């Protein structure tokens, strides 16, 4: 009788998908891509700065449309926030910091923990941002804080933070920010992207709650600080939705191009 010697159990190798392998192996092109998008934003800022008069004309047109749609309630919210220092300072910090901190954190989290989901999520964000740049160029819009009757919350509480009286830029660097990039609101768009990606890629209830609450909070922040109109927020959500559609279409085209062709039988 032959006795079989039991072999040591060997765990199966982890499943590595094409998307996860690509996203983990190619980190430096991702950084380069985001840097290029930022440089494009900076270039658009200089182009938009030349359209100072057009930006105010577009702002008045937008306010008129909101009044027709009964959406023009930004002034009341702006005054309520600016009148209370705790709210004003908190929302000023949120506007000046979260936009630039939370989005990269979510990108890195996806790259490390959800590599299979990273590529489409990144493409969605980049496409939406590029669409936003087109909006800044074609429809430069002065934010509410530049119009009569509104309070520039960040300027009012600038001594409480690192920003100056020029939007959310650090003191002395006000010339490096786009003052007329109200339409669409990428603050709201990026926040919605962050909430969406976290909510769909985690099972933790707390993270899902924060994912839903974050874009709602950012919407309140951009209105309360006088930096965006309601329709700006709607446009921000729209560019994210269109960006997601473009990312999905790109993936489908790539998948079709990689499907092996079966030769016809003789």
Domain count of the chain?
Answer: 1
| 265 within some domain | no
pLDDT at 11: 42
| Greater model confidence, 12 or 141 | 141
**70: left (phi > 0), else alpha (psi -120 to 50), else beta?**
left
pLDDT tier at 105 (50, 70, 90 boundaries)?
Answer: very high
| 93 within some domain | yes
| 236 within some domain | yes
* CA–CA distance, 248 with 112 (Å, rounded to integer): 21
DSSP the chain: -PPPPPPPP-PPPPP--HHHHHHHH-HHHHHHHHHHHHHHHHHHHHHHHTTHHHHHHHHHHHHHHHHHTT---HHHHHHHHHTSHHHHHHHHHHHHHHHHHHHHHHHHHHHHH-HHHHHHHHHHHHHHHHHHHHHHHHS-B--GGGSTT---HHHHTGGGSSB-SSTTSBTT-GGGS-TTB-SS-HHHHHHHHHHHHHHHT---HHHHHHHHHHHHHHHHHHHHTTS--HHHHHHHHHHHHHHHHHHHHHHHHHHHHHSPPPPPP-
Give the residue numbers spanning the domain of 138: 54-256
pLDDT tier at 99 (50, 70, 90 boundaries)?
Answer: confident
| 8 within some domain | no
| 42 within some domain | no
| 17 within some domain | no
Question: Lowest mean pLDDT: which of 50-64, 148-162, 166-180, 241-255?
Answer: 166-180
pLDDT at 266: 44
> Over 90: is that where the pLDDT of 257 sits?
no
* CA–CA distance, 30 with 125 (Å, rounded to integer): 12
pLDDT at 176: 54
pLDDT at 10: 47
For 188-204, the pLDDT digits (tens) are: 999 999 999 999 999 99
| 68 within some domain | yes
Number of CB atoms found within 10 A of residue 138's CB: 10
Work out the average pLDDT over 139-166: 85
Work out the average pLDDT over 87-91: 94
pLDDT at 170: 56
| Greater model confidence, 114 or 192 | 192
Read off the pTM: 0.81
| 23 within some domain | no
């Amino acid at each position: 009788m032959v006795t079989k010697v039991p072999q040591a159990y060997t765990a199966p190798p982890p499943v590595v998908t094409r998307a996860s392998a690509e996203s983990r192996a190619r980190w430096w092109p991702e950084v380069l891509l985001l840097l290029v998008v930022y440089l494009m934003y900076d270039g658009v800022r200089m182009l938009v700065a030349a359209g100072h008069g057009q930006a105010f004309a577009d702002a008045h047109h937008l306010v008129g449309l909101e009044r027709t749609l009964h959406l023009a309630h930004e002034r009341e919210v702006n005054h309520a926030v600016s009148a209370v220092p705790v709210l004003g300072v908190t929302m000023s910090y949120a506007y000046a910091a979260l936009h630039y901190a939370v989005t990269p954190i979510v990108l890195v989290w996806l790259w490390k923990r959800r590599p299979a989901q990273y590529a489409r999520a990144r493409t969605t964000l980049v496409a939406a941002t590029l669409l936003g740049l087109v909006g800044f160029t074609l429809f430069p819009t002065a934010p509410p804080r530049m119009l009569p009757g509104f309070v520039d919350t960040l300027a009012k509480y600038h001594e409480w933070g690192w920003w100056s009286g020029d939007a959310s830029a650090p003191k002395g660097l006000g010339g490096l920010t786009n003052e007329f990039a109200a339409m669409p609101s990428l603050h709201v768009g990026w926040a919605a992207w962050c909430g969406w990606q976290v909510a769909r890629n985690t099972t933790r209830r707390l993270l899902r709650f924060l994912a839903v609450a974050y874009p709602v909070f950012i919407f309140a922040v951009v209105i309360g600080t006088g930096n965006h109109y309601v329709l700006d927020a709607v446009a921000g959500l729209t560019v994210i939705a269109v960006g997601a559609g473009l990312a999905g279409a790109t993936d489908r085209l790539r998948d079709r191009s990689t499907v092996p062709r079966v030769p016809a039988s003789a």
